[in-house]
Structure 1
Amino acid sequence: MKLIIDTDPGIDDAMAIAYAAAAPEIELIGLTTVFGNTHVHQSSRNARFLLDKLGIDAPVAEGAPVAQGADTHAPSEHVHGPEGFGDVTDIPQIGSNHSLSAAEYLVEMARVHKGELVVCAVGPLTNIAAALRLDPEFAQNIARLVIMGGAVYCPGNITPHAEANIYHDPLAADEVFANPPTTVVVGLDVTLRTLYEGADFDGLAEQSADMGGFLRDISKFYLKFYKDVGGLEGCGLHDSTAVIACTHADMFTMVETGLQVVADGPEIGLTRPDPSRPVVHVCCDVDGAGVVDLFTQRVASLP
């Protein structure tokens, strides 16, 4: 399966990209970057660094620096650290970005790999909305869009109503759900059932000294946030669960419904069912232990 991850790395993004690199079912053909956990220039630097560390020769196309209608963005430093990788802050600049913007690259790759390309969006949906605007055929050209975002049947994580990726650009998210490609939504309804604990990271590092060790090191900051804020002993495999959903749909239970995103007011970012909208597939249950085991198995195979 040919895959592009639209990403804002980000600790859980790094985990997802490592999984995609290790999964034999996935051909990771590129990364597109967006603001979110970090500023977009940090997202791009981190993405290029990760691809180099994983030994993957694939481009990074930089995308939106801010949400639709915004002129600034405040990264989630309290969750992911000042550079996106927790306490690891010395991240080298490796290579350069693709000449095309993220939206242009997505549109071009969808044309080249028509009917084959899966796009997994694990940040705000700004680049996806831009690609849909740029080329009316984009939605038909990709095989499907898999989104890590939303809290359709459960509380949010950035507000009581909203999940962070949707909250950071509710206008873009609502635009995507108003006229979606074939879409799978992997939200907090399932990703919080895939907790990865400190002992899991330690075991991963024992089997994969380089990549597993790196993920263990950057996870410490992330795990502390989950413990301090939520009282949890682990972190959700948010983005990795979405990547796993790209190839292992059998591990999920889904419902079909249209979605609408609240764009303003106290419930901004709320993702709610809307039967008047085109149907998307919303994950409502998951084999959480199976996802955790599969993630460990695949990433442990990396050097």
Structure 2
Amino acid sequence: MWKLVAFVVLACVSASAQRIPIILDTDIGDSIDDALALAFALHSPELDVRAVTTVIDDVESKTRLAWKMLSVYNRRDIALAMGASEPLLDPTTSVPSKEFDVLTRNDVIPETARKRAADLIIDTALQSRGKITIVAIGPMTNIALALKTDPRIKNNIERIVIMGGAYLSSESEYNVKRDRAAAEIVFSSGIPITAVGLDVTSQCKLREKDLDRMRIADDPAAKFLIHLVDLAEEQSHEPNPTLYDPLAIAAIFRPDLLEMQAGTVDVPLSGPGQTMFKPSAGSKTQVAVKVNAPAFLELFVDRVTRGSVGLR
């Protein structure tokens, strides 16, 4: 009997050790794909979500939404922190995040969530036993501040996975454009980077059959998620969300879904916020150039329609 118990304990420890520890930095609430990315990460057993940080504009509302989701998914054990409301350069008027206020206006975030997001990133990285992966699915202000505040964290970061930029075209993308200075700091940090840009993410649009599967899921968390999707559609009048940010989550543990190319990325501080990509075989930066969109969509829907994740 004791041998069986010991075996189960060791198996659980081994499974936990193999999971990839991540910090998710998000501008959740600006569009639906951030919430879908958080749900996808929480439903993926390959990942160990250590912390969630919010960024840009109405960070109070964004942090409330993140806390609401962690509560619905029974993951209040995950550290949460409110991030920078303004970009490093060219501060602009804060844009309210009202899309999901009907769900969160009565929620109260814990006092611990008022810790500066950059400090939570630093503490989580330095206290991690192994190297940690940072996932940037919003403007990279918090990450840039963390790198500038304590450069030691570079040694504790496995890589930074970014949803941002466009590498096969001259198109400007919001996450980079919103804080060009932060993006340049991150891309020039010397840390290994995996970037999925508009070149591939724009191909990953939820199909009607995907939404139908999400609607018939019997799990309370899945029902909450589809409610968010419906609220977003009411506000934007755009059906069938594009999974920009969830693809960055998939890139962490399913790299086979993507074809990557190594190169350097420069972000000019003046101009429209383009990412200037130059192929270079020896670069630590990899950008996605192709995606198996149907396989990714199947993976995403399979995960988010599973049963509740619960505390881990």
| Range into which the TM-score falls when normalised by the shorter chain | 0.7 to 0.9
CA shift in 2, pair 1:221/1:53, >3 Å: closer
Change in CA separation of 1:273 and 1:225 when aligned onto 2, cut-off 3 Å: farther
Q: 1:205 and 1:97, CA in 2 relative to 1: closer, same or farther beyond 3 A?
A: farther
- Per the TM alignment, residue 208 of structure 1 is displaced from its structure 2 partner at its CA by 4.2
Letter aligned with residue 240 of structure 2 = G
Aligned CA RMSD, in angstroms, stands at 2.4
Shift of 1:242: 0.5
Amino acid at match of 1:292: L
- How far 1:28 sits from its partner (Å)? 1.0
**2: distance between equivalents of 1:261 and 1:2?**
28
Q: Decide which of 41, 61, 74 is 2:81's aligned counterpart.
A: 61
Deviation (angstroms), 1:46: 1.1
Moved more, 39-48 or 202-211: 202-211
Mapped partners of 1:189, 1:227: distance in 2: 23
Question: Structure 2 length as normaliser, TM-score?
Answer: 0.83
- Whether the aligned pair in 2 keeps the contact of 1:259 and 1:271 (CA below 8 Å) is yes
1:224–1:44 CA distance, 2 compared to 1 (3 A): closer
- Superposition deviation, residue 140 in structure 1: 2.2
Secondary structure of the residue aligned to 2:46 is coil
1:80-105: CA deviation from partner (whole Å, max 9, x where unpaired)? xx424387564622433446411111
2:143 alignment partner, SS class: helix
**Correspondences of 1:247-262 after superposition (within 5 Å):** 247-262=253-268
How big is each residue's C-alpha offset from its partner over 1:7-61, in whole Å with a ceiling of 9 and x where there is no partner? 11122111111111111111111101111xx511111111111111110011211
Of 140-149 and 197-206, the range deviating more from structure 2: 197-206
| Aligned partner of residue 292 in structure 1, secondary structure | helix
> Tell me, which stretches of 5 or more residues in structure 1 are unaligned?
156-160
Over residues 155-195 of structure 1, what are the superposed CA-to-partner deviations in whole Å (9 max), with x where a residue is unaligned?
A: 6xxxxx31111111011101211224111001111111111
1:178 aligns with 2:178: no
SS of match in other structure, 1:189 = helix
> Hey, what does 1:281 align to over in structure 2?
286
Name 2:148's counterpart in structure 1: 133
Instruction: For residues 212-254 of structure 1, give each alpha carbon's deviation from its aligned partner in whole angstroms, at most 9, with x where no partner exists.
Output: 22222222354467766xxxx6221111110111111111110
Structure 1 distance, partners of 2:289, 2:251, is: 12
**Whole-Å separation in 1 of the counterparts to 2:109 and 2:122:** 25
**Preserved contact between residue 63 and residue 109 of structure 2 (Cα < 8 Å):** no
Matched residue type, 2:274 = L
Hey, what's the Cα distance between the residues in 2 that align with 1:286 and 1:275?
Answer: 18
Q: Name the counterpart of 2:11.
A: none
Query: Which SS does the other structure have where 2:111 is aligned?
Result: coil
Which residue among 16, 21, 46 is the counterpart of 1:25?
A: 46
Say whether the 8 Å CA contact 1:259–1:272 is kept in structure 2. yes
Structure 2 residue 194 is matched with structure 1 residue 193: no
CA gap of 1:256–1:58, structure 2 versus 1, over 3 A, is same
Q: Contact between 1:5 and 1:31, CA under 8 Å: does it hold in 2? A: yes
Tell me how far apart the structure 1 counterparts of residues 101 and 197 of structure 2 sit (CA, whole Å). 23
Is the 1:86–1:219 contact (alpha carbons within 8 Å) kept by the matching residues of 2? Answer: no
Amino acid of the residue matched to residue 33 of structure 1? T
* Partner residue, 2:299: 294
Residue pair 2:99, 2:235 contacting (<8 A) in 1 also:
no
* Greater C-alpha Rg: 2
1:103 aligned to which of 118, 128, 134:
118
- Provide the residue aligned with 1:16 in structure 2: 37
Distance 1:246 1:73 in 2: 34
- Whether the 8 Å contact between 2:65 and 2:104 is mirrored in structure 1 is no
* In 2: Cα distance, 1:235 partner to 1:86 partner: 19
Q: What is residue 269 of structure 1 aligned with on the other side? A: 273
| Number of positions where the alignment pairs a residue of Structure 1 with one of Structure 2 | 285
CA distance in 1 between partners of 2:218 and 2:273 (Å): 38
Gap change, CA 1:114 and 1:261, over 3 Å in 2: farther
What is the one-letter code of the residue matched to 2:23? I
Could you state the TM-score of these two structures normalised by the residue count of structure 1?
0.85
**Residue among 22, 27, 47 paired with 1:3:** 22
- Specify the alignment match of 2:90 in structure 1: 70
